[in-house]
Structure formats: structure tokens, C-alpha cells
Structure 1
Amino acid sequence: MAVEVVMPKLGMAMKEGSVSLWHKKEGDPVTKGEIIANIGSEKIETDLEAPADGVLLKIAVPEGEGVPPGTIIGYIGQPGEQVGTAAAGAAGAKPGENAAADAALPSDAAPAGGSAPAEAPAHGRDIKISPVARKMAEAAGLDIAKITGTGPQGRITKEDVEHAIANAASTPASAGEAAASSDSQASVGSTNPALAAAPSGFVEHAEQIPVAGIRKVIAARMLDSLQQSAQLTLTLRADVTDLLALQKRMSETAQKQHEVKLTVTDFIARAVVLSLKRHKQMNSAYIGDRIHVFDHVHLGIAVALDKGLVVPVIRHADQYSVLDLSRHIKALAQQARSGQLGSDALQGSTFTITNLGAYGIDYFTPILNTPEAGILGVGAVTDTPVYRGDELQRRSLLPLSLTFDHRVLDGAPAAEFLRAVKDALEDPYRLVL
């Protein structure tokens, strides 16, 4: 009997997941425990392992289509084993959708294995179409009633829309259709100026990558952040010469006695936490028409993954020493990179740190992780000649970029907070006492 492959629940807050990538095609052999797909939610992306040996009999949910946890997305069984149309339809449907879908089937519908697709209903709202496919069709100005669905029970999939777009691009328009096409392109161009300005044939010959999974979430959140907040960035440099010397001395001892490798990021995290306790206005969030100022510090640390950026949260970071912060930062980063981080660990931060120093970046403009009021960008340490009194010395300087929400606080208090971080880093013994 075929084994169901279901959409996993990646966290308590997960309401919908999608297959970012199928590593197998229908008919491909699979081994239990083998990675067959990448699953993405609103917060994270992880690998999905095959629950049994056999072959991938059917892919019921295509890439990019969002479905609730527990939805059957595919079947694994023995070669030649059949999956009934009822089961296949249930796999691609969301909970509560099957009864309506079955009722919509005509009485003389083709039996299992039949080739006749279900006829599309007349009204757009009644047509079964995946959310991704609907958005693609709307962006391209296509009438979904004229698209033939090849999914379960005539459901229109992303591939069906892509095929319709390709046909529309290659089919010459009649004189009457040309005007409609012009209006449609003008409409599309108004929402996507880049496409409107592109030369003829530009879009057709470009690789088109669906925006799904983590990338889709990041795109939506970054755009929303810039549109819903008043962001301003301040920069300065901290002299971390003494901090680097302290970190070097402490690192060997911490490694031997506590099995923790202390990094500059650990000290920066501690400096930020101490500064947030003194400047609580920065440790706040703009929600509705109110500014919420927090007593606790839930510190977000941005982690770059191959498929996007995630921000795991160290809860009650103000209660931890440099060693404790170091343990939490490394543990969360490892869980994020191995795909073991639950969505609950990515929520509730009150301030975020993002570090691009490893890439040789100096100053940059971090985008707020809204509704937080601030995010600190950390650049690369550079050795620079600096006058200390009349003496020219070689000092190690660390670029810091603070983006804050001007609706929450003004430039002066934001500058005071950034200066507090600088002072803490330049007097590093305060961070360990």
C-alpha cells in the first residue's frame, strides 16, 4: 500500500508550508531517510526525508503551492502501484476542500486513469487554482477561466500558468486583441516598472525563478519594513584594540575550561545588551499607535543561510554573561544551518544584530526587523593609524551602523545608544564583570 508523504508542522505558529524544491521526479526510486524535497514555511526551510523505501508514485503538491501542515503532498510505493484519483485529489486539497471538489465533479467524469480534465467553472472565484498560480496569472493579466488545469480534479497549477504565459508570448495578436494586450501590458507595467521598461524579448529570454519559501517571506518583510517605518541609519567606529587583546587572552581559557570559543560577536552582543538596559527606548517596538518599551532583552542574531537570512532569538539575553551568550549564539546558528531550528525560536526579538564583517563590508544600511525599533549592523575590523594625543598609533577600528525607527525615537537618543555600545566595546573589562 502506498505510503503518504505529508507536509510537516515546523513549529506551533506554522499555518502553511510549501515545497520549495522536489529533489525527485515521479517514478524515481527513493530510500527511507533520503532527502526528497525542501519544505519552507513563513520562517524557516528544512529538508524532508522519505518515510519509506520505494518509488515516488505521485507528486500531489507542486513546488511553490502553499498547503496546511498535515496535507498529503505525495505518495511512495512499489513500482507500478496505482494511486486512486480520490486519494490523489485529497492529497492536493486543503482540509475541508475535498467535499466541495467532489461535488463539483460531473456525474459522467472519467474514471481513474481517464484523460479528460475537469471543465473550468465560469466564475474566477470558483475555479480551483493554487495561490501561487493565481498570483502569477494576475500579474501576467491572464484570464484564469481560459486556462486548462492539469492538477488534481482540474486544479490550475503554476506550470499551467507558465505554459499559458509562454503561449501568449508566442501567439500573434489580432487587431482587436492587440489593444487589449496593450492595456494589459500597461497594467502589468504599472505594477512592475522593470518589466515595462525591458526591451522586446528581454523577459522571454531571462531565467525566471519563482519566489517561494524563505525568499518570499524575506521579500515581503523587507518591503513591509521600509513601507511601514521611518528608518534612519547612524554610523561610527569603535576602537576595539583592547577588546581584541582581551578576547585573545580569554579565548584560550574559555576553550579549555568551558569548551566555548569566544568571538568578537559575543562581546558585541554583551555590549548591546548592556546598552539596551541603559537606553530602554531603543529596546522597544512600534505596534499600532503605541510604543511598547520592554524591560527584558530578547536579542536576535542574524544568520545567513544558502537560501536566505534567518534571525534566531536569544530570550532574556540580559540575564546572560559573555560565555552564556556565546553558547546560545553558536547553538542557534548551528541549528539554523542544519535546518533544526523551529519557527518558535525565530519570533519575539526586541533588537537585532547583523554582522557582515566576514565579507569585508565596512558600513551598510541594515533594514529593521519590524516591529523592532533598532538593528545594529557590524562591519569588518580594520587596522588604521590613529592619533592618540600627539602619538600616531596603529589601532583596530570596528564600523557600526545603527538603523532605528524615527517614529519611536529621535536622532539624539539613538546616537546616545550607539555611543554607549562604542564606549562598552572600548572598555571591554566592563563586559566580563
Structure 2
Amino acid sequence: MASSIEVTVPRLGWSMEEGSFCRWLKEEGEMVREGDGLYELEGDKATQVVESFDAGVLRIGPDGPQSGDIVKVGQVLAHLEPRGGKAAAPKAPAAQQAQAAPAATNGNGAKAAEKKTNGAPAPNGNGSHAAAAPAAQPPQAAVPEKTSASTAPVASPSVRRLARELGIDLQKCDRDDPSPLSAAELMRLAAQPSAQPAATPVARAVVSGDVAVTPRAKRVASELNVDPADAVGSGRNGRIREQDVRAIAANASSKPAAKVSAASAGGAAIGEPITQIRRVIAQRMMAASHETAPVTLTARADASELVRFRDECKRTSVERGVNPPSYTELFVKLCAAALEKHPALLDQWVNERLVKAEGVNIAVAVATPNGLMTPVIRDVPRLSLRELSASFANLIELARTQRLAADQMRGGAFTVSSLGGYRVEAFTPILNPPQTAILGIGRISEQPVAKQRQLVVADVVNLSLTFDHRVVDGAPAAAFLTSLCDVIENPLAWLLG
């Protein structure tokens, strides 16, 4: 009888360690076909439908995940059993196996003993004799002796394509099963640490008790006079990182104020649980603050021509019954023009190397009820203004309805964040690692401007460029900001070209 197939938590991104389980899309005992949506999982800033790579009857155990449960990458959530078969019992942890009873028991609770007749094995139903064993073991196929030259397991073209997308070298898969490699098994391999792409060697973590602590986290803990053992590790296998140490230090400093607040309320403080999206945003903001060298440059640009262009677009759009482009879309298009002149701002610092971007893919910060999202508009210079507007409108709708896929937020090389819809003149945007730069756009307001020794009123916008000084020096960043101001002040050639 064919064995059941485990339903596990996939790694939706290489930085993902855990996710928040949302809900099952199939019921217990329901037939699942290959490609069917099994459940919804909230991962890195997005809720995704996880599809099944195999077919079978869904069996959810009594300890199956509930809505809101935090699940780890690789965790078994349920099983798919073949039609008419029985699901295999979940594997018990090694510690439980070690504590298991040394001998099997029969239905009456007594130990199963080998029955003998005059020193010979008991006869079976056919009258012949068969030796009794302490526990029935399935027949094991002979395993060929491993050689130094490993060969890739048998796999279908779709599984091989998935392996390439996950960065898994099938030649290095340690697998003795001669049967074809399934997509589900490949996803389990991707969830293992050994399946991740090789990264630049880092310092080994020191161990504090039973918890690993990175050397950097230990140094920061000494500087802040905190015990790293009190931190909740966010790294792999619970490893304590620098941001975890800083988190408990910040929490310790805020405790007195929290007590006063609770006392003034006349009872214990009751907080809301942090969502997975909020947790990811916090981690990335902390990473941007502590793992980059951010510098912010500011400039003012005369946006009078841009305002006139949009007013004309609004007038003609009403006549044609379409929506005019927003200022954010216009600035994204103009940023792409400036980035083509200064591509160094698209480079990224990854694993101690500078990685060149493939195309001008611009992420746009979008505020949603669940937190900040950054969908990516790809190959912006190739898009016409109408195509860009349609693409951005679709991404905003997906983001605000929690239907934005993780792939639609990957691959951005530059971010645009606009608060122009509020009464915000200027602000300091925070980098979105591993990106090198982010542009903050304030509101457009009428201000006095000197032109040809005369004072006139113009529509002025404040621009704030935050960049990573590890990748780009001040002069190239300033040159980009200058070019951007130039295209904003003379936008027609870039918007209509």
C-alpha cells in the first residue's frame, strides 16, 4: 500500500523561518487534486494560498494547526493518503521514541511473547511453521553502497524546474530512495538548512546555556548590560541575534512607563498580538537601521510643469471616462528616467558582494489596513504611462485586499514612498534592504521661488533620498537627485516618450 504524503510548510522566501496559519481551504477527508489550494499561509508581508503538489485524501490530525497558529518552515500540518488508503501516523520526535516502551504489547496490554511448541515456532494458519518476531518489520530493499560520485535522483521535468527555482542542486541530494523525486519531497529539502544557497561564511555562534548567541549579539548584550538568555531568538533554530538583544533592552527601558499606564487604567494592561506582517516590518526596519550606513540628502524641485501636465490629464480623462495618473505614478516614471542615467543606485549589497540589478524595477510603498506593503512595478522604462497606471492600480487593489503574492513584492531595486497626500513637507525614509536607495516625496505646495531675479509663486516639492553609503558615495547620490529634479522640472519628454 502506498504511504501517505506529508503536507508541510514551504519556505516562501529564503529569509522566512515561520509563518502564521490562516485557514484550511479543504475539509478533512476531502479529495485533493494536484494544483488545488490546500491552505492559506501568512508569510513575509503577504497571505498566500499554498497549493498541493500531489493528489490524495486530506487527513488533518487532532493536533492540526488552527487559525492564527505560528507554524515553522518544514512543519508537518497534515497528510494526503492515497484513495482508499490510510494515512501514516506522524513521526514521533526522537526523544519520544527513546522513551517508548521497549517491547510491544498485545490488545490486552500484555507483552507479546514468542509462542513455542516443543521448542519449535508456532504453526501458522496453513499448518506450516514461521518464526515469531518482537515486532513486524516491513521488507527492506537492498541499498546499494554509496560511491564518491553522487548521481541526481530521478525527477520529472517540472520537479527539476522547481529545483532550479529554489536553488537546489539535485546532484547533492542525499537520497537512497530509487523512486522519482516528488515536488513535495523537494519542498521539504528546500526547508532544510543544507538546501539553502551557500552564503559568505560568518562567525560561529557562541552558546549560552542551550541557546546559540551570535558574537555580535553577545557584544551588544555586554554593552547594554542585558542577559542574552532573556531574549527570544528570531534566528534559525532559535539563535539569538543582535536585534533580539536590542529588543529586550528596549523593553526593559519601557517597563516603568508601562506599569504607570497599567496602574492609571486601574487594571492589567491588555495588548493585541503582533501579526506576522507587523513582525516582518519591524524586523526589516531594525535591519535597515543596524545593518546599513544610511545617509539622507534633500532637495527642492519646481513641479509647476508636472502639476500642469496632471491637470491636463485630469481634464482629458474626464472626457474619456478614465482615471488620470496619480502623482505617485508620475514620480515613479520620472525616477526610472533618472535611474537609467545613474544605475549605481540600483546595485545591492548582498553577502559582502555588490549585485547588479536586472532592469529598473521600482517598489512603491502602499499603506494598507494590515501594514506597509511594497509591490514592485517591473521594467518601468519600458511601460507607457497608461500601462504603468494600470499595473500600479492593480497592485494597490491586491495589496489592500490581502491578495498580493510574495513574487509581486520581490525583485525591487529602488523604492518610492510618497506622503504627498498628507500635509507632510518632508520626511526621512528608511531603507528597504537589500536595496541601496529609497526616495521620500512630500506634498506639492505653492511657495515663493526666485526666477530670473524675480519672485514668483511656484508648485514646489521636497525630495528626500536615503541611500546606503556602503554601496554609493555622496557625490553619485547627489548627482542622481539633481537629475531627478531636472526631469521633474521638464517632465514632458520623459512622460510622453
TM-score tier after normalising by the smaller chain length: 0.5 to 0.7
1:249-288 equivalences under 5 Å are: 249-254=312-317, 259-288=322-351
Match of 1:231 among 294, 310, 315: 294
Instruction: State the distance in 1 between where 2:353 and 2:11 align.
Output: 32
Task: Find the counterpart in structure 2 of residue 19 from structure 1.
Answer: 20
Instruction: State the distance in 1 between where 2:361 and 2:17 align.
Output: 26
1:13-412 equivalences under 5 Å are: 18-19=19-20, 39-45=41-47, 60-61=64-65, 63=68, 65-68=70-73, 71-72=76-77, 98=92, 100=94, 103=97, 191-196=248-253, 198-199=255-256, 202=259, 205-254=268-317, 259-294=322-357, 296-412=359-475
Seen in structure 2, the aligned counterparts of structure 1 residues 307 and 197 have a Cα distance that, compared at 3 Å, is closer
User: 1:401 Cα deviation (Å)?
Assistant: 0.7
User: 1:98 Cα deviation (Å)?
Assistant: 3.9
Is the contact made by 1:301 and 1:311 (CA closer than 8 Å) also made in structure 2?
Answer: yes
SS of equivalent to 2:256? coil
Is the contact made by 2:21 and 2:65 (CA closer than 8 Å) also made in structure 1?
Answer: no
The structure carrying a bigger helix percent of its residues is 1
Instruction: State the distance in 2 between where 1:12 and 1:287 align.
Output: 15
Deviations 1:34-90 (A, max 9, x none): xxx984202313699xxxxxxx997843635223488538xxxxxxxxxxxx98xx5
CA RMSD across the alignment: 4.3
Instruction: State the distance in 2 between where 1:319 and 1:346 align.
Output: 19
Gapped regions of structure 2 (runs ≥ 5) = 1-6, 24-38, 51-59, 79-87, 103-208, 212-227, 233-243
Is the contact made by 2:310 and 2:324 (CA closer than 8 Å) also made in structure 1?
Answer: no
Seen in structure 2, the aligned counterparts of structure 1 residues 233 and 12 have a Cα distance that, compared at 3 Å, is closer
Instruction: State the distance in 2 between where 1:384 and 1:375 align.
Output: 25
Deviations 1:232-265 (A, max 9, x none): 0011121112211111112343566594431111
Instruction: State the distance in 2 between where 1:190 and 1:327 align.
Output: 41
Seen in structure 2, the aligned counterparts of structure 1 residues 255 and 318 have a Cα distance that, compared at 3 Å, is farther
User: 1:212 Cα deviation (Å)?
Assistant: 3.8
Letter of the structure 2 residue corresponding to residue 396 of structure 1: D
Letter of the structure 2 residue corresponding to residue 65 of structure 1: I
SS of equivalent to 2:443? coil
Is the contact made by 2:21 and 2:71 (CA closer than 8 Å) also made in structure 1?
Answer: no
User: 1:385 Cα deviation (Å)?
Assistant: 2.3
User: 1:351 Cα deviation (Å)?
Assistant: 0.6
Seen in structure 2, the aligned counterparts of structure 1 residues 196 and 72 have a Cα distance that, compared at 3 Å, is same
Deviations 1:208-246 (A, max 9, x none): 444341111111111112211110001112111221111
Task: Find the counterpart in structure 2 of residue 157 from structure 1.
Answer: none
TM-score of the aligned structures, taking structure 1 as reference length:
0.63
Instruction: Give the number of equivalent residue pairs.
Output: 328
Is the contact made by 1:243 and 1:425 (CA closer than 8 Å) also made in structure 2?
Answer: yes
SS of equivalent to 1:357? coil
SS of equivalent to 1:359? coil
Instruction: State the distance in 2 between where 1:278 and 1:249 align.
Output: 28
Instruction: State the distance in 1 between where 2:246 and 2:311 align.
Output: 56
Is the contact made by 2:12 and 2:43 (CA closer than 8 Å) also made in structure 1?
Answer: no
SS of equivalent to 2:462? strand
User: 1:416 Cα deviation (Å)?
Assistant: 1.2
Is the contact made by 1:45 and 1:214 (CA closer than 8 Å) also made in structure 2?
Answer: no
Letter of the structure 1 residue corresponding to residue 70 of structure 2: E
Please state if 1:420 is matched with 2:483: yes
Task: Find the counterpart in structure 2 of residue 158 from structure 1.
Answer: none
Is the contact made by 1:7 and 1:72 (CA closer than 8 Å) also made in structure 2?
Answer: yes
Deviations 1:266-319 (A, max 9, x none): 110111000000011112112233323336201111111122111111121121
SS of equivalent to 1:387? strand
Seen in structure 2, the aligned counterparts of structure 1 residues 205 and 371 have a Cα distance that, compared at 3 Å, is same
Seen in structure 2, the aligned counterparts of structure 1 residues 190 and 297 have a Cα distance that, compared at 3 Å, is closer
Letter of the structure 2 residue corresponding to residue 244 of structure 1: V
SS of equivalent to 2:421? helix
